[in-house]
Amino acid sequence: MNLKNKHLLLSGGWINGQEVQHDRKFPVFNPATGEVITEVSDLDATHASDAITAANIAFEDWKKRPLPERVELVKAWADRIEKNADDLGTIICSENGKPYREARGEALQCAALLRWFADNVQRQQGEDYPSGNESQRNYTIKQAVGVVACITPWNFPAAAVAVKSGAAIVTGCTTITKPSDETPLIALAFAKLSGDAGLPAGVFNVIPCKNPAAVGNELCASPDVRMLSFTGSTRTGKHLYAACGNTIKRLALELGGNAPFVVFDDADIENAVSAALGARFYNSGQICVGANRFLVHEDIYDEFAEKLAERVGQMTVGDGFDEANDIGPMINQAAIDRLIYLVDSATSMGAKILAGGTPVDGEGLFFSPTLIANMSVEMPAFNTEIFGPVACLYKFSDEDEAMRLANDTDAGLSAYVFTSDQNRLLRCSEALDAGVIGANSANIFSNDLPFGGMKQSGIGKEHGMQCLDEFVETKSICLGL
């Protein structure tokens, strides 16, 4: 990996402001080539305990730091991330596989998000309340929760670190990040930059490991860890939810999705098709808000399918460092196997492939951009988070059927609806059971807009003031005079 700043490629964990090595290592692969990028220390529950101790000690000082000082240090961290965006993009592209332009953009977005948190944290203010007693004053203050464990995924390995740790740290918390074993390098690079920016030792810790259960159990069981923020599968989220029960931790869970993408017969088809490409194929389709079920009105179904098939067929697949490519590799062979199963099961039940449908021959974990028509609710893809470059088309005949099909899932993270009827647009936006709605748009992320799911897609919010609020306690003070 060719980096201008060689110091960003760490091979050990980061505990109490120092790199921590371990004799046991695990390889980190480039999914586009299969090559080993480097080997990283495989830390364990003992190291997790050390990180908890360091974070707990650091918290006693960090929570008392004047807010302007915390803000300036977080901004200095953001400055270093932005300055090193080229190298950080290279790290993300290498270990995750996403196109380099997306990887570099993710790094820059992390810097922007940290600055947003730093600029807006002062809006967290207590309130004065009237008292019925002239010799008493009642008011509230905001105080940091404490040590926060952050378990982050591989699909947005930098953004997930920034949105969790950045918000926690600026509010006065200290953090322990356990990144995915598929993509630990970007979290470690962020750790190095946090030290360079002057964040005190113990405020930001990173525990790379190949055995997440051991480290996760230590984080869940420790009473010194007061909150856990997790992004990942619903199945793992349920396990962590239960594991945190004995210590009654605060939880923020951003879990799986099964987003419907509803296109009515009066929609702007060109706009809907362009939005569909972003909603399904961004990040090679490996995105929790990705449109899983394209519900298209029967009167425009064929036209929409034809136009989308043409666009999908034009997409290019290959190494993310080649600027010509739109789609990078899947993260591992299990992801390829899941896509093969979903496509094969659909076609065996009568679905029709309009584009793609198979892995790409040759080295790497590439799957061709795929569009499948004639889908039905009985097919496994209807209730499966696809997490790859596969779009599935279903028909509906009226609004009631569209909303019933759209909400026929335990997930409720995101949903999309396209229509030129403004009354219907508002009606459906309110009827869809999802935390984030794209109404005639697939652009559903903004630093100041809360993001989070309903139903089994999680609890809590990321981005916006609601994200900062996750990491503070509101304390009521009744002051006798």
The residue with tokens 């029960």 is 245
- Residue 136 class from Cβ within 10 Å (0-12 exposed, 13-18 middle, 19+ buried)? exposed
One domain for residues 140 and 161: yes
End-to-end Cα distance, the chain? 65
Given the residues 106, 254, 385, 470, the one annotated as active site: 254
Judge whether 87 lies within some domain.
Answer: yes
One domain for residues 215 and 317: no
Q: Which two tokens stand for residue 259?
A: 């987003």
One domain for residues 276 and 187: no
39 is catalytic: no
Q: Considering the entire predicted model, what is its pTM?
A: 0.96
Given the residues 288, 392, 428, 467, the one annotated as active site: 288
Distance of CA 201 to the CA centre of its chain: 26
Judge whether 408 lies within some domain.
Answer: yes
One domain for residues 287 and 367: yes
User: Residue 344 maps to which CATH number?
Assistant: 3.40.309.10
User: Residue 214 maps to which CATH number?
Assistant: 3.40.605.10
One domain for residues 297 and 347: yes
CA distance 417 to 442: 9
Specify the pLDDT at position 364.
75
Contacts of 235 (CB under 8 A, 6+ apart): none
Judge whether 451 lies within some domain.
Answer: no
Q: Which two tokens stand for residue 21?
A: 């090595």
The residue with tokens 């090559």 is 35
Q: Which two tokens stand for residue 313?
A: 């067929």
Residues 451, 453, 458, 460: is their CA dihedral positive or negative? Answer: positive
One domain for residues 215 and 299: no
Q: 66's torsion region: left (phi>0), alpha (psi -120 to 50) or beta?
A: beta
CA distance 258 to 273: 19
Distance of CA 236 to the CA centre of its chain: 15
CA distance 70 to 59: 12
Judge whether 452 lies within some domain.
Answer: no
One domain for residues 248 and 315: no
Judge whether 143 lies within some domain.
Answer: yes
Structural domain that includes position 431: 259-446
CA distance 1 to 254: 31
CA distance 204 to 187: 10
Q: How many domains is the chain built from?
A: 2
Judge whether 179 lies within some domain.
Answer: yes
One domain for residues 263 and 251: no
Contact 393, 294 (CB under 8 A): yes
CA distance 414 to 433: 8
One domain for residues 306 and 419: yes
Residues 431, 283, 194, 24: is their CA dihedral positive or negative? Answer: positive
Q: Which of 211, 217, 199 is nearest to 81 (CA)?
A: 199
Judge whether 218 lies within some domain.
Answer: yes
Per-residue pLDDT of the chain (481 residues; tens, 9 = 90+): 899 999 999 999 999 999 999 999 999 999 999 999 999 999 999 999 999 999 999 999 999 999 999 999 999 999 999 999 999 999 999 999 999 999 999 999 999 999 999 999 999 999 999 998 999 999 999 999 999 999 999 999 999 999 999 999 999 999 999 999 999 999 999 999 999 999 999 999 999 999 899 999 999 999 999 999 999 999 999 999 999 999 999 999 999 999 999 999 999 999 999 999 999 999 999 999 999 999 999 999 999 999 999 999 999 999 999 999 999 999 999 999 999 999 999 999 999 999 999 999 877 799 999 999 999 999 999 999 999 999 999 999 999 999 999 999 999 999 999 999 999 999 999 999 999 999 999 999 999 999 999 999 999 999 999 999 999 999 999 999 9
One domain for residues 382 and 235: no
Q: Which of 249, 169, 168, 178 is nearest to 209 (CA)?
A: 178
One domain for residues 79 and 195: yes
288 is catalytic: yes
Contacts of 337 (CB under 8 A, 6+ apart): none
Q: Which two tokens stand for residue 224?
A: 């010194």
One domain for residues 118 and 160: yes
Judge whether 1 lies within some domain.
Answer: no
